[in-house]
């Protein structure tokens, strides 16, 4: 065995993810430290076949769960002086000298959410913290590679001082591209490039592709300038290279960067260029090498094969159960009896205005106060609420809930931890996994699918199923975890005029959910249902539908409340007053009836029309979706 190969295998056997590194301290594998591995066969192939002259071994900080204190020496100044000025002494652990005369102290990352690399750590000159996204050269001995690192001291595990990611980037497109990671195009970016249509495509596809590329750049992937160049070349192909199309590309790209270009804490490190090398010079206007698409597809195929191999290696052993074993399996315990159950992934889908966030927050607050929900028992426990929409109003929502349930405003909600405006991708999901394991959350709420996940299309079953696989992985991080995903629905009217709601997008929303709760109606009157006839789903429990609910204003916001008999009667009287404007036995198309009833809002009109159908005030004259409506004649207000 060569020395680097022996060292790499020893490190891998002791829990480190390793990679071959060249004499310039740059990774030799196609995707840098993202290719790090513990597989002995992969490592042996690297150091004996692919890169037999690789002189150095790197360790992936994040995957190896280590944080390295890097002490630099610059002439008469050293990082030890900076530590001494703070009165800090590194605890004993694996320690070795670096090639520049400094030192590495290798510790185990004990933080709950994972750490990020930080140059000039905590303002100390010549002191760096190597953690999270990135790699570190192992200058230590073979014997040290077999030793366990000591836990990191508390002063080394402080979060990096960054603003919470908001999703927005305040700056020019050129400035944003310059801040992106440098280096060869990454596998994730290559996948986007490979998906660029080779035939004509429209504005919606352009926006979706730009959003994906910008999202990858914000997450720290390299090759963003190349990907944007490939997309612009395809967009301006042939006769479409016009000033108008160029302007359309630039304007939509500005919007994508502004909305989705905020760099996540793990994505931007000041020494990124030193780690990855310089990006080949190329502007978005320059013609792109025709081989890029072929290379991108080759990278994508290699990534897919490697991912499949990794999944096969890490798959749990096959379990064989007997009939007697089945009797020992306990059914999922109810979280919100009849609605949410432990160890499941549930989806709450409804149109805007029905109160999806209010419902989820209602359940979460009941879990900390022993309150029932519509007379259904609610288990107690901690909740992680990932809120990507309307975070600023959460305090008002909770205070309104307090008043409605008889609590002093501001005294409830202690069982809920909030995550504002996070874009959920692999790094953030891994951080959430660590939080679930350490905090034992019973319920994790993600509000909403569209705002939390950067997917190309909600109609793509493969993409949506991939998200649900990640949610099931979150579910399995604790003994009784429930994941609740909030999504949007579309509304339709069937041939008989009955309006219904259905989850928007791919069938995977239904297929991959254990529970699918559909909200139908509007803020003045709506129901929740798991009934399959209403497009809901309850895998292992009885289907059910709530009584009529509505959003009731309390204090500074709204709460979910059951619609009282008086409220229902008042609602129906308003419907009858509106329908009385129609001429009996006269046919009306939907648009004509909307005008005749005096509505401007589609939602208000749809709600009135649906209730009028239910009360028998109107009917649809035919089975076609476009069939007109007829006002019936009624004799008394009781109809």
- Written in H, E and C, the secondary structure of 380-448 is CCCEEEEECCCHHHHHHHHHHHHHHCCCCCCCCCCCEEEEECCCCCHHHHHHHHHHHHHHCCCEEEEEC
Provide the mean pLDDT of the chain: 81
Is-same-fold flag (334-563; 566-631)?
A: no
639 compared with 585, residue with greater pLDDT: 585
Nearest to 487 by CA among 441, 462, 453: 453
Q: Which two tokens stand for residue 200?
A: 């004509």
Q: What number is the average pLDDT over the span 286-307?
A: 52
Report field, pTM of the whole predicted structure over 0.85? no
| CATH architecture entry for 334-563 | 3-Layer(aba) Sandwich (3.40)
% residues pLDDT > 90 (the chain): 33
Q: What is the sign, positive or negative, of the torsion defined by CA atoms of 161, 162, 163, 165?
A: negative
Cβ neighbors of 49 (< 8 A, separation 6 or more) are: none
pLDDT for residue 493: 45
**What DSSP element (H or E) covers 56?**
strand 56-60
pLDDT for residue 198: 77
pLDDT for residue 176: 84
In contact, 20 and 51? CB cutoff 8 Å: yes
Q: Is the pLDDT of residue 379 over 90?
A: yes
411-441: per-residue pLDDT in tens? 999 999 998 877 787 778 888 888 888 888 9
Domain 566-631 indexed as CATH 1.10.10: yes
DSSP state, residue 312: H
Q: Which of 199-203, 229-233, 272-276 has the highest mean pLDDT?
A: 229-233
Q: Is the pLDDT of residue 171 over 70?
A: no
Whether residue 448 is preceded by a cis peptide bond, meaning omega within 30 degrees of 0, is: yes
Domain ranges of the chain: 3-156, 173-298, 334-563, 566-631
Residues 51-60: b if buried by 16+ CB within 10 A, e if exposed: beebebbbbb
Q: Cα separations (Å) of 498 from 110, 257, 521, 601, 610?
A: 56, 42, 12, 19, 6
Q: Which of 36-50, 305-319, 613-627 has the highest mean pLDDT?
A: 36-50
488-539: per-residue pLDDT in tens? 875 544 434 444 455 555 688 889 999 999 998 888 888 999 999 888 999 8
pLDDT for residue 291: 56
């Amino acid at each position: 065995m060569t020395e680097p190969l022996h060292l790499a295998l020893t490190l891998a056997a002791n829990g480190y993810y390793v990679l071959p590194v060249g004499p310039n301290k740059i990774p030799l594998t196609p995707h840098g430290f993202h290719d790090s591995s513990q597989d002995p066969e992969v490592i042996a192939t690297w150091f004996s076949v692919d890169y037999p002259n690789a002189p150095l071994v790197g360790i992936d900080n994040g995957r190896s769960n280590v944080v390295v204190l890097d002490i630099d020496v610059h002439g008469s100044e050293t990082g030890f002086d900076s530590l001494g000025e703070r009165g800090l002494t590194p605890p004993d652990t694996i320690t070795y000298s670096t090639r520049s005369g400094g030192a590495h102290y290798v510790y185990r990352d004990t933080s709950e959410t994972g750490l990020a690399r930080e140059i000039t750590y905590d303002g100390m000159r010549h002191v760096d913290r190597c953690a999270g996204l990135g790699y570190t050269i192992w200058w230590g001995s073979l014997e040290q590679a077999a030793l366990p690192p000591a836990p990191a001291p508390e002063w080394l595990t402080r979060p990096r001082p960054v603003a919470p990611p908001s999703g927005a980037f305040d700056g020019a497109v050129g400035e944003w591209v310059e801040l992106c990671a440098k280096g060869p195009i990454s596998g994730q970016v290559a996948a986007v490039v490979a998906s660029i249509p080779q035939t004509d495509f429209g504005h919606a596809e352009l926006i979706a592709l730009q959003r994906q590329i910008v999202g990858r750049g914000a997450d720290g992937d390299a090759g963003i300038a190349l990907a944007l160049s490939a997309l612009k070349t395809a967009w301006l192909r042939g006769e479409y290279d016009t000033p108008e199309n160029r302007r359309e590309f630039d304007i939509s790209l500005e919007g994508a960067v502004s909305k989705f270009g905020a760099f996540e804490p793990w994505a931007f490190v000041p020494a990124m260029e030193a780690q990855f090398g310089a990006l080949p010079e190329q502007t978005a206007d320059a013609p792109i090498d025709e081989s890029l698409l072929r290379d991108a597809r080759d990278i994508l195929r290699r990534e897919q094969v490697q991912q499949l191999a990794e999944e096969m290696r890490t798959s749990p052993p096959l379990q064989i159960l007997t009939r007697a074993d089945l009797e020992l399996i306990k059914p999922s315990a109810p979280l919100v009896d009849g609605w949410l159950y432990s160890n499941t992934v549930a989806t709450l889908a409804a149109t805007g205005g029905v109160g999806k966030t209010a419902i989820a927050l209602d359940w979460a607050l009941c879990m900390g106060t022993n309150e029932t929900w519509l007379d259904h028992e609610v288990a107690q426990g901690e909740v992680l609420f990932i809120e990507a929409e309307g975070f600023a109003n959460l305090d008002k929502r909770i205070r309104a809930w307090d008043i409605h349930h008889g609590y002093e405003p501001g005294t409830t909600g202690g069982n809920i931890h909030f995550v504002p405006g996070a874009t959920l991708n692999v790094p953030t999901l891994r951080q959430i996994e660590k939080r679930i394991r350490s905090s034992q959350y019973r319920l994790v709420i993600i509000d909403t699918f569209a705002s939390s996940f950067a997917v190309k299309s909600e109609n793509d079953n493969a993409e949506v199923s991939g998200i649900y696989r990640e949610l099931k992985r979150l579910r399995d991080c604790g003994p009784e975890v429930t994941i609740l995903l909030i999504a949007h629905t579309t509304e339709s009217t069937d041939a008989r005029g009955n309006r219904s709601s259905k989850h928007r997008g791919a069938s995977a929303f239904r297929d991959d959910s254990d529970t699918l709760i559909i909200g139908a109606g509007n803020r003045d009157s709506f129901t929740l249902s798991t009934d399959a006839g209403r497009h809901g789903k309850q895998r292992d429990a009885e289907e059910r539908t709530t009584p009529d609910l509505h959003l009731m204003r309390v204090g500074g916001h709204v709460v979910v409340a059951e619609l009282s008999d008086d409220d229902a009667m008042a609602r129906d009287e308003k419907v009858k007053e509106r329908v009385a404007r129609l001429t009996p036995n006269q046919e009306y198309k939907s648009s004509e009836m909307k005008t005749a009833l005096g509505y401007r809002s589609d939602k208000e009109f749809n709600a009135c029309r649906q209730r009028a159908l239910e009360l028998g005030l109107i009917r649809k004259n035919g089975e076609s979706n476009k069939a007109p409506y007829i006002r019936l004649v009624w004799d008394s207000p009781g109809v």
